Structure 1
Amino acid sequence: MSGSGYYASPPALSPARPVRRGRRRLFFVAMLLLTLVACDVLARGYLMLVLPYGSLETLIERQQSAATGAAVSEGASEVIHPYLGWVHNPQLSRAEEMDGREVQTNSLGFRDDGEAVRRRSADVFLLGICGGSVAWNFSWEAESTLRQLLSALPQLQGRRLQIVRLALPGYKQPQQLMALNYVLSLGGEFDAVLNIDGFNDGALSILENARQKTSIAYPRSWHARSLVMTDPRISAEAWRLLTLRAERQQLGRRALQSPLRWLALYQLWWHLRDEESRAELSRLGMQISQSNSGSFLHHGPLPEKESTEEQAVAAAELWIRSSQQMQAVCRGLGIPYLHVLQPNQYVPDSKPFTEYELERCLADGQELQSVTSAAYAELRAAGARAKDRGLAFSDQTGVFSGVTDTLYVDPWCHFNRLGNELLAKAVAGELAKVLAEQR
């Protein structure tokens, strides 16, 4: 109370300061939102540059695959098989489109539009196709050509051609032999069997097996594929590998459930984390593979041959013996059999290359070319000798020799639809001869 006997009124507060504070806060929030939007736009642009087809849906598919366990590591959708080395896991493999059809994994682990075990019938001609990726691609892209060319044969009158796919990318002998015997032992039947192979059996037996001290007779890169089977001497490293796969799977599940999953910024964060996990898995896998060097579990009996020439001879001998066994099994059951040596761009003078093929379809280094050339020389010689002894064998390495169109699509012996159709025309003629001989 003042001396004058009344209370002094407090000074009036200016409203300008709270208004300025409110504006600053609003400005801060607006700038924050604009920054987030700008970052999200930049993240989306970056992802569109680095992702296949520039689609964020690719990330969603990867997250789904990781969450289910199908893609927590390379080859996660494959499963070790007691007789065949490996097959696809029908519980994990995703459907893919091939020649306008949705291709699933059947109950035996083969990628086909039907089951592998089928019975002969009066209205269907069952053609089994064995081999690796070239044979598998051929079975789809050349199917209509084969159907058209074979339809005039007496054996196909009133019958529909049905291809049974026992081929899987990466297969090499004796996997083709084992696959045929396995399906036959389960009750499968065939009207004819076509085996198309060569590159995996020769070149990759050397580059990915013998050079890694893995048995030539073992499946391709068995030392890497068999990492899921633990050598007790490296249990700690194997546990770390399993932990990394589990972490990647959990990361995928969280990404699918996150309320931020619609933001490109969040997807970029997940993409970078996932790439880091993949790289660490690869490093650890390489470390385990190196520490496993000499392990019988992962490498089998050590290769006896040291030079490329000796390894090429050993690979060719294994390859042709396996084919002879396939023919013997088929002959015992009255099944016509044809073995085709697939084309390859590293066979000298086998094709005049287009500019695209010169730029995209020849390996940069000389090793793949020199090893493949050496391997194919032995394969062709072994095939010719076996043919003289009664093997139904067709060397198709020169089938593209007069073709000036682009056929090859990569440095690894794969060719496009036109290439498959041209090969089909040659194969159909050879198959017709085999069928005629066994009438």
Structure 2
Amino acid sequence: MSGSGYYASPPALPPARPVRRGRRRLFFVAMLLLTLVACDVLARGYLMLVLPYGSLETLIERQQSAATGAAVSEGASEVIHPYLGWVHNPQLSRAEEMDGREVQTNSLGFRDDGEAVRRRSADVFLLGICGGSVAWNFSWEAESTLRQLLSALPQLQGRRLQIVRLALPGYKQPQQLMALNYVLSLGGEFDAVLNIDGFNDGALSILENARQKTSIAYPRSWHARSLVMTDPRISAEAWRLLTLRAERQQLGRRALQSPLRWLALYQLWWHLRDEASRAELSRLGMQISQSNSGSFLHHGPLPEKESTEEQAVAAAELWIRSSQQMQAVCRGLGIPYLHVLQPNQYVPDSKPFTEYELERCLADGQELQSVTSAAYAELRAAGARAKDRGLAFSDQTGVFSGVTDTLYVDPWCHFNRLGNELLAKAVAGELAKVLAEQR
């Protein structure tokens, strides 16, 4: 064979082992999972930076609120009321804790731990408290102080003080007057009524109503609160507003039902979508509000006064007339009434400020300070004149004048528990005088 010139071909190599497709797929899936895990970790880290409490539960709570409709827009838990302007919606408002008690929204829309319509009894002294946020905070944080100081009065012997809260944050006259009349018309009874107000009635009537061409007599920022009511002239814009709210609600419902809801990456996607919708709602709301500048539906009769001074006088006159009407109604029913002008940091020389108050409780701009100062000057003067004519009125703007502790908590008008307790001591003394006069 070797001499024949024939050379045998080398043996064939074994065929290359094919890479299994299954391994490629497994590798692809593994890399995809690793990428998803990495992205989820990054999303979680981002959310922990931007969320108030740094947890996915915060977003889930927001989704639940959006799904129910309670948070599809600012003030969604409020409802337009035929007599009071607006109240809270008991079907949407969440419970909150105040002074160790769970506070619900009662059947009339007031934030209280009981119903607004109650009857007098031999063992309970019913004290109605009217006003805005200061009065509402006072009704909780000063309750024990009031109970202690008033317990020695003859009218409270053998009786337990029970507060009926007709105050709601944002209320201004004549809402206090209307709330009192409304509850009385439904059969509510009181042993005394305390009205604590001033800032909303003066400063906000100017800044949030008159400056926006909204009637001073209308509820605070009525042009914004009434956007849910459609002016036929701008039906297209109103339809878009309602559509955006519906989209936010649907997005919240889908997020709660999604099997991916526990992934931070999915929650980040929802958060960015929801924030975009909120921004669009805000932009559209501003656009509609500007389009409604001459709408009677949203602004009421146009303010006739142009200057801050004239507006302050008009606001003070409305405020004091409303209080006189409250006293007249109470007097006709034999109910002692006391009107208290709440303290405010922009009243000159009303308190020595601490470093905290100087840094955090005074507005940077001058407009809030100047308008509030002008409004309070008129409120104090109107109150003094009405007191001379028989109104049970107490000017408490100087109640903190000798207090060097920190009392105010924000640049508006709110103070802490100590401030409420100090105000309660002063108010209890004034209320005792009113009760003594009507024995």
After TM superposition, the score normalised by the length of structure 2 is: 0.95
Deviations 1:159-204 (A, max 9, x none): 1110000000100000000000000000000000000000000000
Identity %: 100
CA contact 1:2–1:8 (8 Å) conserved in 2: no
Distance 1:24 1:10, change over 3 A: farther
Distance 1:21 1:329, change over 3 A: same
Deviations 1:380-419 (A, max 9, x none): 1111111111111111111111111111111111111111
Shift of 1:38: 2.1
Partner of 1:391: 391
- Alpha-carbon distance between aligned partners in 1 of 2:89 and 2:2, rounded to the nearest angstrom: 93
- Alpha-carbon distance between aligned partners in 1 of 2:302 and 2:207, rounded to the nearest angstrom: 15
Shift of 1:221: 0.5
- Alpha-carbon distance between aligned partners in 1 of 2:3 and 2:198, rounded to the nearest angstrom: 114
Distance 1:154 1:2, change over 3 A: farther
Deviations 1:249-282 (A, max 9, x none): 0000000000010011111111111111111111
Partner of 2:244: 244
- Alpha-carbon distance between aligned partners in 1 of 2:176 and 2:410, rounded to the nearest angstrom: 24
Q: Is 48-57 or 136-145 further displaced after alignment?
A: 48-57
Shift of 1:16: 7.3
Distance 1:160 1:18, change over 3 A: farther
Distance 1:307 1:8, change over 3 A: farther
Q: Which SS does the other structure have where 2:182 is aligned? A: helix
Alignment of 1:309-320 (within 5 A): 309-320=309-320
- Alpha-carbon distance between aligned partners in 2 of 1:47 and 1:18, rounded to the nearest angstrom: 46
Which blocks of at least 5 consecutive residues in structure 1 are unaligned? none
Distance 1:280 1:13, change over 3 A: farther
Distance 1:364 1:9, change over 3 A: farther
- Alpha-carbon distance between aligned partners in 2 of 1:4 and 1:51, rounded to the nearest angstrom: 90
CA contact 1:95–1:103 (8 Å) conserved in 2: yes
Distance 1:23 1:333, change over 3 A: same
Q: Is 55-64 or 190-199 further displaced after alignment?
A: 55-64
Distance 1:28 1:121, change over 3 A: same
After TM superposition, the score normalised by the length of structure 1 is: 0.95
Shift of 1:18: 4.5
Shift of 1:60: 1.2
2:380 corresponds to 1:380: yes
What RMSD over aligned residues (CA atoms) do the two structures have, in Å? Answer: 3.1
Distance 1:205 1:12, change over 3 A: farther
Shift of 1:362: 1.0
- Alpha-carbon distance between aligned partners in 2 of 1:215 and 1:175, rounded to the nearest angstrom: 14
- Alpha-carbon distance between aligned partners in 2 of 1:104 and 1:11, rounded to the nearest angstrom: 90
- Alpha-carbon distance between aligned partners in 1 of 2:7 and 2:19, rounded to the nearest angstrom: 30
Deviations 1:307-337 (A, max 9, x none): 0000000000000000000000000100000
Which blocks of at least 5 consecutive residues in structure 2 are unaligned? none
Partner of 2:287: 287
Distance 1:44 1:438, change over 3 A: same
Shift of 1:56: 2.2
- Alpha-carbon distance between aligned partners in 1 of 2:4 and 2:148, rounded to the nearest angstrom: 118
Shift of 1:375: 0.3
- Alpha-carbon distance between aligned partners in 1 of 2:38 and 2:432, rounded to the nearest angstrom: 65
Distance 1:34 1:122, change over 3 A: same
Distance 1:15 1:423, change over 3 A: farther
Q: Is 352-361 or 4-13 further displaced after alignment?
A: 4-13
CA contact 1:124–1:161 (8 Å) conserved in 2: yes
Shift of 1:434: 0.7
Distance 1:306 1:37, change over 3 A: same
Q: Which SS does the other structure have where 1:210 is aligned? A: helix
Q: Is 20-29 or 188-197 further displaced after alignment?
A: 20-29
Distance 1:65 1:14, change over 3 A: farther
Q: Which SS does the other structure have where 1:25 is aligned? A: helix
- Alpha-carbon distance between aligned partners in 1 of 2:309 and 2:253, rounded to the nearest angstrom: 50
Deviations 1:99-147 (A, max 9, x none): 1111111110001111000000000000000000110011111111111
Shift of 1:22: 5.7
- Alpha-carbon distance between aligned partners in 1 of 2:78 and 2:7, rounded to the nearest angstrom: 89
